[in-house]
Homo-oligomer: A and B are copies of this chain.
Protein backbone atom coordinates (compact mmCIF):
# COMPACT_ATOMS: atom_id res chain seq x y z
CA UNK A 1 0.00 0.00 0.00
CA UNK A 2 1.27 3.45 -0.94
CA UNK A 3 0.66 5.86 1.92
CA UNK A 4 -0.24 8.58 -0.60
CA UNK A 5 -3.24 6.44 -1.57
CA UNK A 6 -4.11 5.19 1.90
CA UNK A 7 -6.34 6.96 4.41
CA UNK A 8 -4.33 7.52 7.58
CA UNK A 9 -5.57 10.59 9.45
CA UNK A 10 -2.83 11.02 12.09
CA UNK A 11 -3.73 13.45 14.88
CA UNK A 12 -1.04 15.85 16.06
CA UNK A 13 -2.75 16.65 19.35
CA UNK A 14 -3.44 14.13 22.08
CA UNK A 15 -7.23 13.93 22.35
CA UNK A 16 -8.45 15.11 25.74
CA UNK A 17 -11.28 12.61 26.13
CA UNK A 18 -8.94 9.61 26.10
CA UNK A 19 -8.06 8.44 29.62
CA UNK A 20 -5.80 5.48 28.85
CA UNK A 21 -2.86 5.03 26.53
CA UNK A 22 -4.50 2.59 24.09
CA UNK A 23 -7.41 4.95 23.54
CA UNK A 24 -5.05 7.90 23.02
CA UNK A 25 -2.83 5.99 20.61
CA UNK A 26 -5.72 4.57 18.60
CA UNK A 27 -7.07 8.08 18.08
CA UNK A 28 -3.66 9.62 17.35
CA UNK A 29 -2.71 6.84 14.92
CA UNK A 30 -5.95 7.29 12.96
CA UNK A 31 -7.17 3.79 13.81
CA UNK A 32 -10.72 4.70 14.78
CA UNK A 33 -13.21 7.48 15.32
CA UNK A 34 -16.01 7.75 17.85
CA UNK A 35 -19.45 8.00 16.21
CA UNK A 36 -21.50 7.93 19.42
CA UNK A 37 -20.74 7.12 23.06
CA UNK A 38 -19.02 3.71 22.99
CA UNK A 39 -19.64 3.28 19.24
CA UNK A 40 -16.66 3.50 16.91
CA UNK A 41 -15.89 3.52 13.22
CA UNK A 42 -12.77 1.52 12.40
CA UNK A 43 -10.57 3.50 10.06
CA UNK A 44 -8.41 1.54 7.59
CA UNK A 45 -5.37 1.13 9.88
CA UNK A 46 -7.47 -0.04 12.81
CA UNK A 47 -9.49 -2.42 10.67
CA UNK A 48 -6.32 -4.11 9.45
CA UNK A 49 -5.37 -4.95 13.03
CA UNK A 50 -8.91 -6.03 13.91
CA UNK A 51 -8.96 -8.40 10.92
CA UNK A 52 -5.62 -9.95 11.83
CA UNK A 53 -6.76 -10.59 15.39
CA UNK A 54 -10.04 -12.02 14.11
CA UNK A 55 -8.18 -14.35 11.76
CA UNK A 56 -5.93 -15.72 14.52
CA UNK A 57 -8.99 -16.35 16.68
CA UNK A 58 -10.69 -18.11 13.74
CA UNK A 59 -7.70 -20.30 12.91
CA UNK A 60 -7.32 -21.48 16.49
CA UNK A 61 -11.05 -22.15 16.86
CA UNK A 62 -10.96 -24.22 13.67
CA UNK A 63 -7.85 -26.08 14.81
CA UNK A 64 -9.66 -27.04 18.01
CA UNK A 65 -12.57 -28.45 16.00
CA UNK A 66 -15.08 -25.63 16.46
CA UNK A 67 -17.18 -24.82 13.38
CA UNK A 68 -17.91 -21.29 12.26
CA UNK A 69 -21.41 -19.99 11.67
CA UNK A 70 -22.83 -16.46 11.87
CA UNK A 71 -25.86 -15.48 13.89
CA UNK A 72 -27.61 -12.15 13.30
CA UNK A 73 -27.10 -9.11 15.53
CA UNK A 74 -30.82 -8.78 16.32
CA UNK A 75 -32.76 -11.40 18.25
CA UNK A 76 -36.37 -11.95 19.27
CA UNK A 77 -37.22 -10.96 22.84
CA UNK A 78 -39.38 -14.09 23.11
CA UNK A 79 -36.30 -16.27 22.75
CA UNK A 80 -34.84 -14.68 25.87
CA UNK A 81 -38.12 -15.09 27.72
CA UNK A 82 -37.69 -18.85 27.30
CA UNK A 83 -34.46 -18.79 29.30
CA UNK A 84 -35.74 -16.20 31.76
CA UNK A 85 -32.96 -13.78 30.91
CA UNK A 86 -35.06 -11.14 29.12
CA UNK A 87 -36.11 -9.53 32.37
CA UNK A 88 -33.00 -10.57 34.29
CA UNK A 89 -30.55 -8.86 31.94
CA UNK A 90 -31.37 -5.31 32.99
CA UNK A 91 -30.59 -1.97 31.34
CA UNK A 92 -27.43 -3.17 29.55
CA UNK A 93 -29.62 -4.96 27.03
CA UNK A 94 -30.61 -2.73 24.11
CA UNK A 95 -34.30 -3.36 23.56
CA UNK A 96 -35.86 -2.52 20.21
CA UNK A 97 -39.38 -2.44 18.78
CA UNK A 98 -39.88 -2.86 15.03
CA UNK A 99 -42.56 -1.35 12.76
CA UNK A 100 -44.95 -4.19 13.57
CA UNK A 101 -44.43 -3.66 17.33
CA UNK A 102 -42.47 -6.89 17.64
CA UNK A 103 -39.92 -6.85 20.44
CA UNK A 104 -36.33 -7.38 19.39
CA UNK A 105 -32.99 -6.84 21.10
CA UNK A 106 -29.42 -6.29 19.96
CA UNK A 107 -27.68 -9.47 21.09
CA UNK A 108 -25.16 -9.09 23.93
CA UNK A 109 -24.44 -12.85 23.73
CA UNK A 110 -26.01 -15.87 22.00
CA UNK A 111 -26.68 -18.77 24.41
CA UNK A 112 -30.41 -18.68 23.67
CA UNK A 113 -30.14 -18.44 19.91
CA UNK A 114 -27.56 -21.19 19.51
CA UNK A 115 -29.65 -23.43 21.78
CA UNK A 116 -32.64 -22.75 19.54
CA UNK A 117 -30.57 -23.73 16.49
CA UNK A 118 -29.23 -26.82 18.21
CA UNK A 119 -32.62 -28.14 19.32
CA UNK A 120 -34.04 -27.60 15.82
CA UNK A 121 -31.59 -30.00 14.20
CA UNK A 122 -29.78 -32.27 16.68
CA UNK A 123 -31.59 -35.22 18.24
CA UNK A 124 -28.94 -37.81 19.06
CA UNK A 125 -25.73 -38.21 21.02
CA UNK A 126 -24.26 -39.54 17.75
CA UNK A 127 -23.99 -35.96 16.47
CA UNK A 128 -22.01 -34.87 19.52
CA UNK A 129 -19.67 -33.34 20.50
CA UNK A 130 -20.54 -30.16 18.62
CA UNK A 131 -18.97 -26.72 19.02
CA UNK A 132 -20.34 -23.84 16.96
CA UNK A 133 -18.84 -20.36 17.07
CA UNK A 134 -19.33 -17.04 15.38
CA UNK A 135 -17.53 -13.70 15.24
CA UNK A 136 -20.18 -11.01 15.28
CA UNK A 137 -20.88 -7.50 16.58
CA UNK A 138 -22.63 -7.37 19.93
CA UNK A 139 -24.14 -4.53 21.92
CA UNK A 140 -24.06 -3.88 25.65
CA UNK A 141 -25.62 -0.59 26.71
CA UNK A 142 -22.95 0.33 29.28
CA UNK A 143 -23.99 2.96 31.81
CA UNK A 144 -20.73 4.78 31.23
CA UNK A 145 -18.78 3.66 28.17
CA UNK A 146 -15.11 4.67 28.36
CA UNK A 147 -11.55 3.66 27.52
CA UNK A 148 -12.28 3.52 23.77
CA UNK A 149 -12.71 0.01 22.40
CA UNK A 150 -11.82 -1.46 25.81
CA UNK A 151 -15.30 -0.79 27.13
CA UNK A 152 -17.36 0.13 24.10
CA UNK A 153 -21.04 -0.48 23.60
CA UNK A 154 -20.89 -1.98 20.09
CA UNK A 155 -18.07 -4.52 20.16
CA UNK A 156 -16.84 -7.51 18.18
CA UNK A 157 -16.82 -10.80 20.03
CA UNK A 158 -16.03 -14.39 19.15
CA UNK A 159 -18.41 -16.64 21.03
CA UNK A 160 -18.35 -20.42 20.82
CA UNK A 161 -20.93 -22.83 22.23
CA UNK A 162 -20.27 -26.48 22.98
CA UNK A 163 -22.84 -29.28 23.22
CA UNK A 164 -22.13 -32.63 24.87
CA UNK A 165 -24.02 -35.64 26.12
CA UNK A 166 -22.79 -35.42 29.72
CA UNK A 167 -20.58 -33.49 32.09
CA UNK A 168 -17.47 -35.59 31.45
CA UNK A 169 -17.68 -34.94 27.70
CA UNK A 170 -18.51 -31.27 28.30
CA UNK A 171 -15.37 -30.87 30.39
CA UNK A 172 -13.34 -32.21 27.48
CA UNK A 173 -14.91 -29.55 25.25
CA UNK A 174 -14.09 -26.97 27.92
CA UNK A 175 -10.48 -28.14 27.97
CA UNK A 176 -10.19 -27.88 24.19
CA UNK A 177 -11.26 -24.23 24.35
CA UNK A 178 -8.93 -23.63 27.31
CA UNK A 179 -5.99 -24.84 25.22
CA UNK A 180 -7.18 -22.99 22.10
CA UNK A 181 -7.23 -19.78 24.14
CA UNK A 182 -3.69 -20.31 25.41
CA UNK A 183 -2.56 -20.61 21.79
CA UNK A 184 -4.75 -17.76 20.49
CA UNK A 185 -3.41 -15.08 22.83
CA UNK A 186 0.20 -16.29 22.64
CA UNK A 187 0.09 -15.98 18.84
CA UNK A 188 -0.85 -12.32 19.30
CA UNK A 189 2.25 -11.73 21.40
CA UNK A 190 0.28 -11.60 24.66
CA UNK A 191 0.79 -13.35 27.95
CA UNK A 192 -2.84 -14.05 28.86
CA UNK A 193 -3.23 -15.95 32.10
CA UNK A 194 -6.23 -18.19 32.78
CA UNK A 195 -7.70 -17.39 36.19
CA UNK A 196 -10.60 -18.91 38.11
CA UNK A 197 -13.47 -16.47 37.84
CA UNK A 198 -17.08 -15.85 38.74
CA UNK A 199 -19.69 -16.87 36.21
CA UNK A 200 -21.97 -13.82 36.41
CA UNK A 201 -25.05 -13.63 34.15
CA UNK A 202 -23.94 -16.54 31.93
CA UNK A 203 -24.30 -18.93 34.87
CA UNK A 204 -22.69 -22.27 35.68
CA UNK A 205 -20.14 -23.44 38.20
CA UNK A 206 -16.85 -23.47 36.27
CA UNK A 207 -15.26 -20.51 34.56
CA UNK A 208 -11.86 -19.07 33.70
CA UNK A 209 -11.04 -15.58 32.61
CA UNK A 210 -7.99 -15.03 30.42
CA UNK A 211 -6.24 -11.95 31.72
CA UNK A 212 -3.48 -9.79 30.28
CA UNK A 213 -1.53 -8.10 33.06
CA UNK A 214 -1.62 -4.31 32.75
CA UNK A 215 -1.78 -1.47 35.26
CA UNK A 216 -4.77 -0.02 33.42
CA UNK A 217 -6.76 -3.26 33.71
CA UNK A 218 -10.27 -3.24 35.18
CA UNK A 219 -9.73 -6.18 37.56
CA UNK A 220 -7.37 -6.73 40.45
CA UNK A 221 -5.52 -10.04 40.10
CA UNK A 222 -3.37 -12.21 42.35
CA UNK A 223 -1.00 -14.82 40.99
CA UNK A 224 2.19 -16.78 41.36
CA UNK A 225 4.71 -15.25 38.96
CA UNK A 226 5.65 -18.76 37.80
CA UNK A 227 2.46 -18.75 35.75
CA UNK A 228 4.09 -16.22 33.42
CA UNK A 229 6.65 -18.78 32.32
CA UNK A 230 4.46 -21.82 31.65
CA UNK A 231 4.81 -23.31 28.16
CA UNK A 232 2.05 -22.68 25.62
CA UNK A 233 1.00 -25.78 23.61
CA UNK A 234 2.40 -25.88 20.05
CA UNK A 235 0.43 -26.16 16.84
CA UNK A 236 0.90 -29.93 16.99
CA UNK A 237 -1.29 -30.19 20.09
CA UNK A 238 -3.67 -33.14 19.70
CA UNK A 239 -7.19 -31.91 20.42
CA UNK A 240 -8.49 -35.47 20.18
CA UNK A 241 -6.03 -36.58 22.85
CA UNK A 242 -5.96 -36.10 26.61
CA UNK A 243 -5.54 -32.41 27.40
CA UNK A 244 -5.81 -32.72 31.18
CA UNK A 245 -2.03 -32.59 31.78
CA UNK A 246 -1.94 -29.15 30.11
CA UNK A 247 -4.97 -27.95 32.08
CA UNK A 248 -3.50 -29.26 35.35
CA UNK A 249 -0.21 -27.55 34.71
CA UNK A 250 -1.91 -24.19 34.10
CA UNK A 251 -4.46 -24.42 36.91
CA UNK A 252 -2.23 -25.76 39.68
CA UNK A 253 -0.24 -22.52 39.87
CA UNK A 254 -2.16 -19.88 41.82
CA UNK A 255 -3.91 -17.24 39.68
CA UNK A 256 -7.25 -15.60 40.51
CA UNK A 257 -9.17 -12.39 40.02
CA UNK A 258 -10.05 -10.41 43.13
CA UNK A 259 -13.68 -11.60 42.93
CA UNK A 260 -12.74 -15.18 43.73
CA UNK A 261 -9.36 -14.55 45.41
CA UNK A 262 -8.55 -16.95 48.26
CA UNK A 263 -6.20 -14.89 50.43
CA UNK A 264 -5.43 -17.79 52.74
CA UNK A 265 -4.43 -20.14 49.92
CA UNK A 266 -2.41 -17.38 48.23
CA UNK A 267 -0.53 -16.85 51.52
CA UNK A 268 0.04 -20.55 52.05
CA UNK A 269 1.01 -21.65 48.52
CA UNK A 270 2.89 -18.79 46.94
CA UNK A 271 6.44 -17.93 48.07
CA UNK A 272 6.89 -14.26 48.99
CA UNK A 273 9.18 -13.46 46.05
CA UNK A 274 6.65 -14.88 43.60
CA UNK A 275 3.55 -13.12 44.92
CA UNK A 276 2.14 -10.90 42.18
CA UNK A 277 -0.73 -8.54 42.99
CA UNK A 278 -1.49 -6.31 40.05
CA UNK A 279 -4.26 -5.43 37.62
CA UNK A 280 -5.36 -7.13 34.43
CA UNK A 281 -7.46 -6.82 31.29
CA UNK A 282 -9.90 -9.60 30.57
CA UNK A 283 -9.58 -10.68 26.93
CA UNK A 284 -11.55 -13.92 27.09
CA UNK A 285 -13.77 -15.95 29.36
CA UNK A 286 -14.92 -19.56 29.20
CA UNK A 287 -17.86 -21.17 31.02
CA UNK A 288 -19.23 -24.61 31.67
CA UNK A 289 -22.89 -24.19 32.63
CA UNK A 290 -24.25 -27.72 32.30
CA UNK A 291 -27.96 -27.88 31.51
CA UNK A 292 -28.86 -24.31 32.48
CA UNK A 293 -30.15 -23.41 29.00
CA UNK A 294 -31.06 -26.87 27.69
CA UNK A 295 -33.37 -27.51 30.66
CA UNK A 296 -35.34 -24.33 30.21
CA UNK A 297 -35.32 -24.40 26.41
CA UNK A 298 -35.91 -28.16 26.04
CA UNK A 299 -32.76 -28.93 24.08
CA UNK A 300 -32.80 -32.70 24.46
CA UNK A 301 -30.80 -35.43 22.77
CA UNK A 302 -31.27 -39.18 22.89
CA UNK A 303 -28.44 -40.97 24.69
CA UNK A 304 -27.09 -44.43 23.76
CA UNK A 305 -29.98 -45.95 25.74
CA UNK A 306 -32.55 -44.05 23.68
CA UNK A 307 -33.60 -41.85 26.60
CA UNK A 308 -33.76 -38.08 26.00
CA UNK A 309 -31.52 -35.98 28.23
CA UNK A 310 -30.83 -32.24 28.27
CA UNK A 311 -27.57 -31.43 26.51
CA UNK A 312 -24.60 -30.11 28.52
CA UNK A 313 -23.31 -26.76 27.39
CA UNK A 314 -20.48 -24.32 27.70
CA UNK A 315 -19.75 -20.95 26.14
CA UNK A 316 -16.43 -19.36 25.26
CA UNK A 317 -15.90 -15.69 24.50
CA UNK A 318 -13.01 -13.66 23.11
CA UNK A 319 -13.22 -9.87 23.01
CA UNK A 320 -11.92 -9.33 19.48
CA UNK A 321 -12.26 -5.53 19.31
CA UNK A 322 -11.17 -5.16 22.95
CA UNK A 323 -7.98 -7.08 22.11
CA UNK A 324 -6.85 -4.23 19.85
CA UNK A 325 -6.76 -1.99 22.91
CA UNK A 326 -5.35 -4.68 25.19
CA UNK A 327 -2.42 -5.36 22.86
CA UNK A 328 -1.60 -1.65 22.73
CA UNK A 329 -1.73 -1.43 26.54
CA UNK A 330 0.84 -4.25 26.61
CA UNK A 331 2.95 -3.11 23.63
CA UNK A 332 3.79 0.59 23.40
CA UNK A 333 6.40 3.18 24.35
CA UNK A 334 6.51 6.98 24.45
CA UNK A 335 6.69 7.15 20.63
CA UNK A 336 3.65 5.02 19.93
CA UNK A 337 2.51 1.47 19.35
CA UNK A 338 4.85 -1.52 19.05
CA UNK A 339 2.72 -4.13 17.26
CA UNK A 340 3.66 -7.78 17.63
CA UNK A 341 4.32 -8.98 14.07
CA UNK A 342 1.31 -11.30 13.86
CA UNK A 343 -1.21 -8.50 14.40
CA UNK A 344 0.61 -5.53 12.84
CA UNK A 345 -1.44 -3.56 10.27
CA UNK A 346 1.60 -3.77 7.99
CA UNK A 347 4.60 -5.96 8.68
CA UNK A 348 7.04 -3.52 7.11
CA UNK A 349 7.24 0.11 6.05
CA UNK A 350 9.51 1.66 3.43
CA UNK A 351 10.45 5.23 4.33
CA UNK A 352 11.64 7.28 1.38
CA UNK A 353 13.75 9.89 3.18
CA UNK A 354 14.08 12.11 0.11
CA UNK A 355 10.89 11.83 -1.89
CA UNK A 356 11.33 13.07 -5.44
CA UNK A 357 15.02 12.25 -5.60
CA UNK A 358 15.65 9.84 -8.49
CA UNK A 359 17.85 7.40 -6.56
CA UNK A 360 15.70 7.01 -3.44
CA UNK A 361 12.50 6.90 -5.51
CA UNK A 362 13.89 4.12 -7.70
CA UNK A 363 15.23 2.12 -4.76
CA UNK A 364 11.94 2.44 -2.87
CA UNK A 365 9.86 1.46 -5.88
CA UNK A 366 12.03 -1.61 -6.42
CA UNK A 367 11.77 -2.62 -2.76
CA UNK A 368 8.03 -2.02 -2.74
CA UNK A 369 7.46 -4.13 -5.83
CA UNK A 370 9.66 -6.97 -4.65
CA UNK A 371 8.26 -7.15 -1.12
CA UNK A 372 4.67 -6.93 -2.40
CA UNK A 373 5.33 -9.67 -4.96
CA UNK A 374 6.71 -11.87 -2.18
CA UNK A 375 3.58 -11.44 -0.11
CA UNK A 376 4.95 -9.07 2.54
CA UNK A 377 2.30 -6.66 3.80
CA UNK A 378 4.21 -3.42 3.23
CA UNK A 379 3.36 0.28 3.55
CA UNK A 380 5.42 2.58 1.33
CA UNK A 381 5.61 6.10 2.76
CA UNK A 382 5.81 7.97 -0.54
CA UNK A 383 4.44 11.23 0.84
CA UNK A 384 6.16 14.62 0.74
CA UNK A 385 6.58 14.66 4.51
CA UNK A 386 10.12 15.38 5.76
CA UNK A 387 12.19 12.45 7.07
CA UNK A 388 11.55 13.28 10.74
CA UNK A 389 7.82 13.19 10.17
CA UNK A 390 8.08 9.82 8.43
CA UNK A 391 10.07 8.36 11.35
CA UNK A 392 7.47 9.64 13.80
CA UNK A 393 4.54 8.28 11.81
CA UNK A 394 6.05 4.81 11.36
CA UNK A 395 6.83 4.63 15.09
CA UNK A 396 3.43 5.99 16.13
CA UNK A 397 1.53 3.43 14.05
CA UNK A 398 3.94 0.75 15.25
CA UNK A 399 5.24 -0.93 12.08
CA UNK A 400 7.54 -3.79 13.25
CA UNK A 401 10.13 -3.46 10.44
CA UNK A 402 11.07 -0.15 8.87
CA UNK A 403 13.36 0.20 5.87
CA UNK A 404 14.89 3.69 5.80
CA UNK A 405 16.01 4.67 2.31
CA UNK A 406 18.18 7.80 2.17
CA UNK A 407 20.61 9.22 -0.40
CA UNK A 408 23.71 8.84 1.78
CA UNK A 409 23.17 5.16 2.48
CA UNK A 410 22.20 4.44 -1.10
CA UNK A 411 25.49 5.94 -2.32
CA UNK A 412 27.09 2.99 -0.53
CA UNK A 413 24.42 0.56 -1.71
CA UNK A 414 22.83 0.38 1.73
CA UNK A 415 19.50 0.99 3.44
CA UNK A 416 18.78 0.97 7.16
CA UNK A 417 16.63 -1.80 8.60
CA UNK A 418 15.03 -0.72 11.86
CA UNK A 419 13.18 -2.92 14.31
CA UNK A 420 10.39 -1.12 16.13
CA UNK A 421 10.42 -3.60 19.04
CA UNK A 422 13.85 -2.56 20.34
CA UNK A 423 14.79 0.37 18.10
CA UNK A 424 17.83 -1.47 16.75
CA UNK A 425 19.12 -0.40 13.33
CA UNK A 426 21.35 -2.16 10.86
CA UNK A 427 22.90 -1.15 7.53
CA UNK A 428 22.08 -3.75 4.90
CA UNK A 429 21.76 -3.95 1.13
CA UNK A 430 18.20 -3.77 -0.23
CA UNK A 431 18.50 -7.46 -1.16
CA UNK A 432 19.45 -8.33 2.42
CA UNK A 433 16.48 -6.34 3.72
CA UNK A 434 14.16 -8.30 1.45
CA UNK A 435 15.75 -11.59 2.50
CA UNK A 436 15.36 -10.69 6.17
CA UNK A 437 11.63 -10.11 5.71
CA UNK A 438 10.93 -13.15 3.56
CA UNK A 439 12.86 -15.98 5.19
Binding site for B on A (CB under 8 A): 5-7, 9, 30, 33, 35-37, 39-44, 47, 50, 65, 67-76, 79, 91-92, 94, 96, 98-99, 102, 104, 106, 113, 116-117, 120-122, 130, 132, 137, 139, 141, 143, 154
Contact = CB atoms under 8 A, between A and B. Distances in A.
Given A9-B121, A94-B98, A143-B99, A113 B41 contact: yes
B40 A72 contact: yes
Given A36-B74, A44-B67, A99-B141, 9 more contacts: A5-B65, A9-B122, A35-B71, A35-B116, A39-B74, A43-B117, A94-B96, A94-B99, A99-B143
Nearest to A11: B121
Contacts of A102: 36-37
A117 B120 CA distance: 43
B7 A67 contact: yes
Closest 8 A-B residue pairs measured CB to CB? A9-B121, A42-B70, A41-B71, A91-B99, A39-B72, A36-B76, A99-B141, A72-B154
B44 A68 contact: yes
A67 B36 contact: no
A75 B98 CA distance: 16
Contacts of A72: 35-36, 39-41, 137, 154
8 contacts: A7-B132, A33-B120, A41-B69, A41-B71, A43-B69, A43-B117, A50-B70, A96-B96
A98 B68 contact: no
A240 to B, nearest CB: 10
Contacts of A67: 5-7, 44
B33 A47 contact: no
Nearest to A110: B41
B33 A117 contact: yes
Contacts of A139: 74
Contacts of A96: 94, 96, 106
Given A91-B99, A99-B91, A73 B137 contact: yes
Nearest to A50: B70
A34 to B, nearest CB: 10
The prevalent SS among residues of A at the interface is mixed
A121 B65 CA distance: 44
Contacts of A132: 7, 44
A274 B33 CA distance: 52
Looking at A6, A65, A98, A154, which has the most chain B CB atoms within 10 Å of its CB?
A98
Contacts of A98: 94, 141
A308 to B, nearest CB: 18
Contacts of A91: 99
Contacts of A69: 7, 41-44, 47
A345 to B, nearest CB: 12
A44 B41 CA distance: 28
A293 B216 CA distance: 41
Contacts of A35: 71-72, 75-76, 79, 113, 116
A32 to B, nearest CB: 9
A366 to B, nearest CB: 20
A45 to B, nearest CB: 9
A174 to B, nearest CB: 18
Nearest to A104: B36
A79 B34 CA distance: 13
Contacts of A116: 35
B70 A130 contact: no
Looking at A69, A79, A116, which has the most chain B CB atoms within 10 Å of its CB?
A69
A248 to B, nearest CB: 27
B70 A41 contact: yes
Contacts of A94: 96, 98-99
A104 to B, nearest CB: 7
Contacts of A122: 9
Contacts of A7: 67, 69, 121, 130, 132
A118 to B, nearest CB: 9
